[in-house]
Structure 1
Amino acid sequence: MEASQLLNRRQLSELDFGKMPRPIYDANPEWIRLYELAWKIAFKNVEVPENPEWLPQMSCITGSGKIWQWDSCFMTLFSRYSNGTVSALNNLDNLYRLQRADGYISMTYVVNTGLEAYGERVNPPIYAWVEFEHYKYTGDRDRLARIYPILKKYFMWLKCNRRRVNGLYYFEDTGSTGMDNSPRSGYPASNLSGSDVCFIDLSCQQQLSARNLAAIAEAIGETKDIVLFNAEADELSRLINHYCWSERTGFYYDCFTRCSNAERHNFLSCKTAAAFWTIISGAANEDQRRSLVKHLLDPDEFCTLHPVPSLSSGDPNYSPSGSYWLGGVWAPINYMIIRGLSENKYQDLAREIAVKHLSAMSSIMQNPMYGGIWEAYAPEYIRPSTDKDGCNVRDNFVGWSGLGPIAMLIETIIGLSFDAASNTISWRITDSGRSGLENICFNGKRISLVCEGLKEGEPGGEARVRIESDGKINLRIVICNAASRMASVTLDAGRHELTV
């Protein structure tokens, strides 16, 4: 049975933490409290639609009667760690069921009717990325085979209907980007032409989709499509760098064009966090990534008290309190940046951003004035972000704000990554104290991993690691201390103790 089917009406009565993965992180116990709170809110926010054709789904805004595309995708990236207790895959399956015959999927639907909520608008198309990420954890190749035709049709619809003549992509307006009031184009637009803008993020998201569609095609044996989608990714990389990269400022921008295929287009000269999609998509080369990192570390741009602001602090529209997408710190943007950095040899910076993000979230959770988990956060204050009208954003937002307390804690702080195809868990151990994750459901096996810490009196010394698994696994461990050691082992089912 697919994980998306595990969430049913009988399971909605209570959340059993005994079934969940149990993180261990002695360096900051409050982050464990934040992790547990995120799951409690996520579980509370599950809705069972009255329409019997709809599966129970995770909701970012309970009671709204709507389902959003990119919220659902990002919720999948942390709900895969729930051991099937709560899953945003139901959200994706609800959306896939509404796909038109020509391949189109709307950004938002009304649940009871299945009608588009805001007309023919798209959202960041990251289905292929999150589906392949889910596969890397679960090894569910049958699901990949089932959803691949859906994702391929959606990619091709976007290619046929949301490209300028120069080959770059456009959203209808900034509302469709998800960055609602960002100063990137008209919002809300009087028509759906995208204000003559080529949006850097949509082109990168299509490149990321193409790369993951090629990987899915390889995993399920659709060999003829591997070359097709790799070529799509390579061509988008060329176009993004030709039209959107500024050598003078070392940054990527949206650009203006509509019916012209001119050699050069004018940049839309506000610096937004959308530019960092070029790292995870693969558009940015090593030198360009190095330049983007400088912008991330610049206190006059993206290095704020609570990073990463959605808009550069040097922009005249920037708001230190957030004002939604005029500087607000958003979990999906931080997660995207952290993953891109981690996959491109900037693990230390990725971890630094994750630490600051979780520290701010934890402080706000403990502050009696606020408490809870919020939709977005202020970049220059330890408080929730303000919205477009100056009020606080939504609370109890899990929702994609669960990415920090759950996915970032597991992947970036504890340091675990998964590859079901090779049956391998990679573990980057950074802290000297006790850390790990117990009761993982990886690739059909139940696994616990605990590092008992470095040997006493040896700050650059060996780490003691305890592993328990009910099946054979490959384990790769990297100890990130002065000694900087690595070990790769194959372990049979049972209990094991290693010294690395």
Structure 2
Amino acid sequence: MMGLKSVLFSGILLSVMAVGVQAKPETGRGLDKSLLPQPVYSPEPGLVDLYWAAWDLAWGRVKHQNGIPQSPYMDENLWDDTIWIWDTEFMVLFCRYAPSLFPGIQSLDNFYKTILDGEPVSLKIWHPDNPPFFAWVEYEYYKMTGDKRRLEYVLEDNRYLQRHFYWFEKLKRGGSRFSKMPVMLERREKGYLWGDVQSGMDNTPRGRGCNGEMLWMDALAQQALAALYIERIAEVLDDSSTAKEFAGEYAVKKDLLNKYYWDAEDGFYYDIEEATGDFVKVRTPA
């Protein structure tokens, strides 16, 4: 059973998602609130009001659209013809508190089927090289819902998680058929080239003082995270072969990260210059 802080935090995050949104007149209609977690917090009843307002706003972002693999889906409320990996991954983490009402986890299929299966789609993916959190999000959804069938769908039936991991590894800089923005991620010997908006950290001062190309420590860490959670999902499904494969991938990424990006003197992970291996000493949440 989730704690009150988790419930309220989820609600506040949903509100933050919708900052600047003018709620539609129909927002909240048809939402069966009896199926949502019911917070009681007498010291601050305004927080409970905020919680319910957040769900109302989220309900207004459940979108139906023709010409896409998965409809309805969770829309991030910017452009009707565009979807974002980064935004959708985090919306899934909010929607897992009400999986019977909100198509959170299902929304990921619009990326799997477009990128990996080549299905025609009327939507564009703004940054195909957004952070690869799919496996982590799928596992967190499973922990909340116990839906093992979903894990079988993404790991065994379609191998979406494994295929995306290796697709991410082979990306090259340039345009793509399903994106409005160029791909900036590219694998190199010690890590990955990337870009600020693609990484989701477009308002940080990363790269300041770097001469030449920079290798982004979070791209490496996030691929390690993907491998780790593919391994964990495989263990849930008793798939020892896949678990072993991705335990190996995780170990390789972790070793690279600790060998080249960890500054023992500062006690901090930094991006590095590709040519020299020097730390780019700009501290950010990465």
TM-score range, shorter chain: 0.7 to 0.9
Structure 1 residue 159 displacement after superposition = 2.4
State the one-letter code of the partner of 1:47. K
> Which residue number corresponds to residue 47 of structure 1?
63
Instruction: Describe how 1:29-68 pairs up with structure 2 within 5 A.
Output: 29-51=45-67, 53-68=69-84
Q: Does the 8 Å contact 2:72/2:103 carry over to 1?
A: no
Q: Does the 8 Å contact 2:83/2:126 carry over to 1?
A: no
Aligned with 1:181 (options 198, 203, 206): 203
Structure 1 residue 13 displacement after superposition = 4.8
State the one-letter code of the partner of 2:256. L
Instruction: Describe how 1:297-336 pairs up with structure 2 within 5 A.
Output: none
Aligned with 1:136 (options 138, 143, 146): 143
> Which residue number corresponds to residue 266 of structure 1?
278
Q: Does the 8 Å contact 2:270/2:279 carry over to 1?
A: yes
TM-score in terms of structure 2 length: 0.76
> Which residue number corresponds to residue 147 of structure 1?
154
Structure 1 residue 80 displacement after superposition = 0.6
> Which residue number corresponds to residue 156 of structure 1?
166
Aligned with 1:113 (options 113, 118, 122): 122
> Which residue number corresponds to residue 262 of structure 2?
245
Structure 1 residue 116 displacement after superposition = 4.5
State the one-letter code of the partner of 1:164. R
1:299-332 per-residue CA deviation (whole Å, 9 max, x = no partner) reads: xxxxxxxxxxxxxxxxxxxxxxxxxxxxxxxxxx
Call closer, same or farther: CA 1:95–1:89 in 2, change over 3 Å: same
Bigger Rg over Cα: 1
Give the Cα–Cα distance (whole angstroms) in 2 for the partners of residues 228 and 112 of structure 1: 32
Structure 1: state its 5+ residue gaps.
1-11, 106-110, 187-194, 275-500
Q: Does the 8 Å contact 1:174/1:180 carry over to 2?
A: yes
Structure 1 residue 254 displacement after superposition = 1.0
1:4-63 per-residue CA deviation (whole Å, 9 max, x = no partner) reads: xxxxxxxx8521212211123344333222211111111112221133644111122244
Structure 2: state its 5+ residue gaps.
1-27, 172-185
Other structure's SS at 1:163 match: strand
Give the Cα–Cα distance (whole angstroms) in 1 for the partners of residues 131 and 162 of structure 2: 15
Q: Does the 8 Å contact 2:68/2:110 carry over to 1?
A: no
Give the Cα–Cα distance (whole angstroms) in 1 for the partners of residues 187 and 76 of structure 2: 30
Give the Cα–Cα distance (whole angstroms) in 1 for the partners of residues 86 and 41 of structure 2: 30
Structure 1 residue 268 displacement after superposition = 1.6
Other structure's SS at 2:106 match: helix
Other structure's SS at 1:255 match: strand
Aligned with 1:122 (options 129, 132, 138): 129
1:232-285 per-residue CA deviation (whole Å, 9 max, x = no partner) reads: 21221221111111122221111110xx5xxx61112211101xxxxxxxxxxx
Give the Cα–Cα distance (whole angstroms) in 2 for the partners of residues 140 and 78 of structure 1: 16
> Which residue number corresponds to residue 169 of structure 1?
192
Give the Cα–Cα distance (whole angstroms) in 2 for the partners of residues 246 and 53 of structure 1: 45
Aligned with 2:242 (options 222, 225, 241): 225
Other structure's SS at 1:169 match: strand
Call closer, same or farther: CA 1:81–1:241 in 2, change over 3 Å: same
Instruction: Kindly indicate whether residue 100 of structure 2 is the aligned counterpart of residue 84 of structure 1.
Output: yes
Give the Cα–Cα distance (whole angstroms) in 2 for the partners of residues 49 and 185 of structure 1: 39
Give the Cα–Cα distance (whole angstroms) in 1 for the partners of residues 42 and 248 of structure 2: 46
Instruction: Describe how 1:387-398 pairs up with structure 2 within 5 A.
Output: none
Other structure's SS at 2:39 match: strand
Q: Does the 8 Å contact 2:214/2:271 carry over to 1?
A: yes
How many equivalent pairs are there? 240
Q: Does the 8 Å contact 2:73/2:106 carry over to 1?
A: yes
Structure 1 residue 117 displacement after superposition = 4.2
State the one-letter code of the partner of 1:151. L
Other structure's SS at 2:280 match: coil
Structure 1 residue 135 displacement after superposition = 0.6
Structure 1 residue 182 displacement after superposition = 2.2
Instruction: Describe how 1:489-500 pairs up with structure 2 within 5 A.
Output: none
Q: Does the 8 Å contact 1:125/1:205 carry over to 2?
A: yes
Give the Cα–Cα distance (whole angstroms) in 2 for the partners of residues 244 and 185 of structure 1: 14
Give the Cα–Cα distance (whole angstroms) in 2 for the partners of residues 16 and 176 of structure 1: 36
Give the Cα–Cα distance (whole angstroms) in 1 for the partners of residues 53 and 72 of structure 2: 21
Give the Cα–Cα distance (whole angstroms) in 2 for the partners of residues 63 and 238 of structure 1: 40
Give the Cα–Cα distance (whole angstroms) in 2 for the partners of residues 215 and 176 of structure 1: 27
Instruction: Describe how 1:267-286 pairs up with structure 2 within 5 A.
Output: 267-274=279-286
Aligned with 1:99 (options 100, 111, 115): 115
> Which residue number corresponds to residue 272 of structure 2?
255
> Which residue number corresponds to residue 206 of structure 1?
223
Give the Cα–Cα distance (whole angstroms) in 1 for the partners of residues 98 and 136 of structure 2: 19
Give the Cα–Cα distance (whole angstroms) in 2 for the partners of residues 81 and 61 of structure 1: 20
Structure 1 residue 223 displacement after superposition = 0.9
Give the Cα–Cα distance (whole angstroms) in 2 for the partners of residues 204 and 53 of structure 1: 30
State the one-letter code of the partner of 1:113. S
Structure 1 residue 112 displacement after superposition = 6.2
Other structure's SS at 2:50 match: helix
Give the aligned CA root-mean-square deviation in angstroms: 2.6
Q: Does the 8 Å contact 1:208/1:233 carry over to 2?
A: yes
